[in-house]
Amino acid sequence: MTELETYQGVATIEKVAALCRRRGFVFPSSDIYGGLGSAYDYGHYGVLMRQNIRGEWWRSMIQERDDMVALDSAIILNPQVWVASGHVAGFSDPLVDCRTCKLRFRADDLEHEHCGRHPSKHPGETPDCDLTEAREFNLMFETFVGPVRDSASVAYLRPETAQGIFVNFKNVTSSLRVKPPFGIAQIGKSFRNEITPGNFIFRLREFEQMEMEYFVPPADAAQWHEYWIEERRRWHLSLGLRESYLRVRAHGAEELSHYSSATSDIEYLYPIGWLELEGVANRGDYDLRQHSEHSGTKLEWIGHDERYIPHVVEPAGGVDRFMLAFLCDGYDEEEVAGRRRTVLRLHPRVAPVKVAVLPLIAKNGDMVERARRLYEELRRAMSAEFDADAAIGKRYRRQDEIGTPWALTIDEQTLEDDTVTLRDRDSLAQIRISLAGAKQLLLERLEQPWSPRG
């Protein structure tokens, strides 16, 4: 497949952000106080959608495998963890300040930055620009543990969930039935004082990671690295992201993180260009070796006739960044019967609401009662919504905008023959199905493969 150079869809980050705010997916955080740089709160539909993203990741990583166990480690760890991991010394970006416009920029990314006085120019490009020398800026948020605020009580909010996994290696291998190759998976919040956050929920200072550390015999690491790159690419495709909008890009030597011997990014073509969705790194034995040396506890695998430090392959993604990719991929605008509609063509398993139950005539007590009964039956099995408010066309469009794949409409005929209309969000096809079989049919559809373009 030839690689696309530029984004071809109708979404923009601004349109997606506006829809998210209008329909209760994402709000600027502490909005009534003017917000806080790049912090967002998730509203009802955002929460449901994120639960689904986490759930799908969990299902593929833990539930459907027998070589994986779960972990939920603390956010604030012993600060020595971050000394050993290399984050205290090396988790930094080079930054420059402009003495003229007082803005701060990433020195290694000036071509994506805008001058404060002349936004069409990059920093340093105009005679007014007066940039300082670059200096390293550590991205970890510092805090203090206990009542005394001194250097001995400094601790950090974790900048990645991965280290919580490495420092639990011994606990896990001595308490659970695992043997390399095996993985430890964790979902949780991470924090980075990013110099230039932005693009809505793409780069945040507080975000949620989904990371898995896969421990393997050293000789097998390269092969497992390839395996996990392909496995994760297929996961994104299985949830409906367009194949032409996904690519795998291997890091050059100069780009590799301090711990990595090889990393490939799975990139997605966002409306703002090709950007990292998820990283898949071969971390070698860097982390277990570092923690063994710094803690004095040997982190190694001891089998019947073998003893070695496992190598680690790590697929690391983010809930917020995946959510933005699903929203951009699904966002569409089209003309239907002379009216414009905005629709989120989300994979049914990612969509916040699976089915809307709508009595055709809101004033008809029998229809409302039948619809309500059906809704109460469905909501035990899936996220469902009941809506008897406004004209039916308006209700359909409301559901289209939040990405609800199916609507069941109760009408006159339902009262006569116990059938309902099933409306499909994407094709707009309407078919009659039996009321009694509706739940089973939708459960089967949720398990079926789905692709965005039919």
The footprint of ligand GAP (CB under 6 A) covers: 160, 162, 192, 194, 203-204, 207, 209, 211, 276, 278-279, 314, 316-318, 320-321
Give exposure, 245-261, as e/b (b: 16+ Cβ within 10 Å): bbbeeeeeeeeeeebbe
* Minimum separation from the CB atom of position 175 to ligand GAP (A): 24
* Minimum separation from the CB atom of position 162 to ligand GAP (A): 4
CA distances from 76 to 155, 160, 191, 231 (A): 7, 11, 11, 31
Q: Is the dihedral of CA 32, 35, 41, 46 positive or negative?
A: positive
- Strand (E) positions, 285-401? 301-302, 307-308, 311-318, 331-336, 339-344, 355-359, 384-386
Q: In terms of CB distance, is 162 or 299 closer to ligand GAP?
A: 162
Q: In terms of CB distance, is 56 or 387 closer to ligand GAP?
A: 56
The closest alpha carbon to 354, from 335, 332, 380, belongs to 380
Q: In terms of CB distance, is 286 or 406 closer to ligand GAP?
A: 286
Residue whose CB is nearest to ligand GAP in the complex, by number: 318
Q: In terms of CB distance, is 280 or 353 closer to ligand GAP?
A: 280
Residue 263: strand, helix, or coil: strand
Q: In terms of CB distance, is 161 or 409 closer to ligand GAP?
A: 161
CA distances from 452 to 75, 82, 173, 231 (A): 37, 42, 42, 20
Q: In terms of CB distance, is 53 or 353 closer to ligand GAP?
A: 53
* Minimum separation from the CB atom of position 213 to ligand GAP (A): 9
Q: How far apart are CA 64 and CA 283, in angstroms?
A: 25
* Minimum separation from the CB atom of position 264 to ligand GAP (A): 11
The closest alpha carbon to 323, from 346, 342, 303, 304, belongs to 346
Within the chain, what is the greatest distance between any pair of CA atoms?
79
Q: In terms of CB distance, is 158 or 242 closer to ligand GAP?
A: 158
* Minimum separation from the CB atom of position 212 to ligand GAP (A): 10
Q: Name the helix (H) or strand (E) containing 290.
A: helix 286-295
The closest alpha carbon to 143, from 162, 127, 128, 157, belongs to 157
Q: In terms of CB distance, is 220 or 276 closer to ligand GAP?
A: 276
Q: In terms of CB distance, is 60 or 209 closer to ligand GAP?
A: 209
Query: Are 202 and 233 contacting, i.e. CB atoms less than 8 angstroms apart?
Result: no
* Minimum separation from the CB atom of position 47 to ligand GAP (A): 17
Give Rg (Cα) of the chain.
Answer: 25
* Minimum separation from the CB atom of position 291 to ligand GAP (A): 14
φ/ψ bin of 287: left (φ > 0), alpha (ψ from -120 to 50), beta (otherwise): alpha
Give the bridge partners for 19, in sequence order.
none
Give the bridge partners for 341, in sequence order.
334
φ/ψ bin of 390: left (φ > 0), alpha (ψ from -120 to 50), beta (otherwise): left
Q: In terms of CB distance, is 54 or 398 closer to ligand GAP?
A: 54
Report strand pairing: 430-434 vs 419-424: antiparallel
Q: How far apart are CA 89 and CA 286, in angstroms?
A: 15
Q: In terms of CB distance, is 255 or 334 closer to ligand GAP?
A: 255
